Structure 1
Amino acid sequence: MARVDHGTTSGTFSLDGQTFEVENNVWVIGDDEECVVIDAPHDVDGIMAVVGDRKVKAILCTHAHDDHVRVAPALRERVVAPILLHPADKPLWDLTHTENLWDVDLHDGMELTVAGTPLRILHTPGHAPGAVCVYAPELGCVFTGDTLFHGGPGATGRSFSDADLIVESIRAKLFALPDETVVHTGHGEDTVLHIEKERMGL
């Protein structure tokens, strides 16, 4: 069965003419032989420090804000693995990458396998139109990118975001998962679904 490895990288997030310093989580799911990488923030070497010498099967992008996909093409070149992104995020991807596209479209309900462990894609628009979460039922966890944090929903005050939609996505897709599911977020600390469900009153 796969395990979850974690690191962080630091850099900037830019949108709507503003730039902020941010620290992103790096999540890698796999065993000693193969893995998938969730998002490609800031620094290829920082990501590779978590990957090690394993074969990378895929680079799964939770959404296309620049702090999550900035080094995706460079990482793809380093590890020779496809970039997967939901096509609804093309307008955001195009803000960062005009010369490169991703390789495979993600869609709701899509299933992938790494190290014999299934991963299910949940389309959770709101923070971004193509935002997805990656659910690993056998590992009891979900990787939420910037859709759900310790403390509630992700930000929706910028272009291409929708406050009502993110709440509906969380209610319909995430809170339908088992209450004890651990939430691995794009930034900051982990949480648990039932804690955020109580916090949001849903």
Structure 2
Amino acid sequence: MNAKKIHSYTGGHVFTNGYVVELDNACLVIDAPALIHEVIQQEGLKPTHLLLTHQHFDHTEDVEALQKLGVKVLQHSPYNETLIRQKEARENWGLPVDIKPFEADEHLEGKDSIEIDGTEIQISHVPGHSPDSICFYLPALGVVFAGDTLMEGSIGRTDLPGGSHETLLEGIRSKLFTLPDDTVVCSGHGSQTTIGNEKKHNPFI
């Protein structure tokens, strides 16, 4: 199974990446930065599933808009205001964040993989940046959507509620660095990279 196309979008208050993967009979959205639904509609795409790497506000601002389009939401665990962090965003940073509580169609906690439109999606729970952080690896496409777990030359912040530097590094080594070196890493912030490049050059690991 090959994707027809993988789109990337960067938006929201902290320049968060979201992705859209066109399959034959499905259209996957990975993370929901603000206004990604408008870009999807402008492209004439018909999103079917939203896969959330974690619940931080910058990755979930557009969940409500996507649900109104009929998109099924899949995430690690139920909505959690502490994980969303929008109160902190509003009061400490002055960001006009307004995310209403939402219900997912499927919780992925404890699951190693799912299949959508004949495409296998392997799931790795890699906490450390956020307790609910998960990565989505599509072996047929050679790409892993890593959220804020692993980024080009960097890793996710671990000074947030529920964060752990040691836990994050261990998860990256055991669950991401075991992927093929040529696996493309699509992260929540910054540019694309590869597993091989990060194994060689990431200064945090």
Q: What TM bracket, shorter-length normalisation?
A: 0.7 to 0.9
Match of 1:5 in 2: 6
1:66, 1:193 → 2: CA distance?
Answer: 26
Q: Are the counterparts in 1 of residues 158 and 165 from structure 2 also a CA contact under 8 Å?
A: yes
Partner Cα distance (1:35, 1:177) in 2: 24
Divergent runs of 4+, >3 A: 47-50, 93-99
- Give the drift of 1:182: 1.1
TM-score w.r.t. the length of structure 1 is 0.83
Percent identity between the aligned chains?
Answer: 36
Match of 2:103 in 1: 101
Aligned to 1:68: 59
Amino acid at match of 1:26: G
Deviations 1:19-49 (A, max 9, x none): xxx2222211233542111011111202434
CA 164–48 in structure 1, closer or farther in 2 if over 3 Å, else same: farther
Q: Is residue 2:72 matched to residue 1:82?
A: yes
TM-score (norm 2): 0.82
List gaps (5 residues or longer) in structure 1. Answer: 13-21
User: Residues 194 and 57 of structure 1: is their aligned pair in 2 closer, same or farther, counting only changes over 3 Å?
Assistant: same
Partner of 1:123: 125
1:2 Cα offset (Å): 3.4
The alignment yields a C-alpha RMSD, in angstroms, of 2.2
Q: CA deviation at 1:181?
A: 1.0
Shift of 1:104: 1.2
* C-alpha contact (below 8 Å) 2:64/2:100 kept by paired residues: no
Task: Give the partner amino acid of 1:2.
Answer: N
Partner secondary structure for residue 15 of structure 2: strand
CA gap 1:10/1:97 in 2 versus in 1, 3 angstroms: closer
How many residue pairs match? The answer is 190
Asked whether the 8 Å contact 1:107–1:121 carries over to 2, the reply is: no
Give the direction of change, closer, same or farther, for the CA distance of 1:49–1:58 in structure 2 (3 Å limit). same
Measure the CA separation in 2 of the matches of 1:159 and 1:28. Answer: 29
The answer to whether residue 36 in structure 2 is matched with residue 46 in structure 1 is: no
Is 1:181 the counterpart of 2:183? The answer is yes
Q: Residue 57 in 1 paired to residue 48 in 2? A: yes
- The equivalences for 1:28-39 within 5 A come to 28-31=20-23, 33-39=25-31
Q: Distance in 2 between matches of 1:165 and 1:105?
A: 22
Structure 2 match to 1:144: 146
Written as runs of structure 1 = structure 2, the 5 A alignment for 1:160-199 is 160-199=162-201
Change (3 A) 1:188 1:10: same
| Closer, same or farther: CA 31–124 of 1 in aligned 2, 3 Å | same
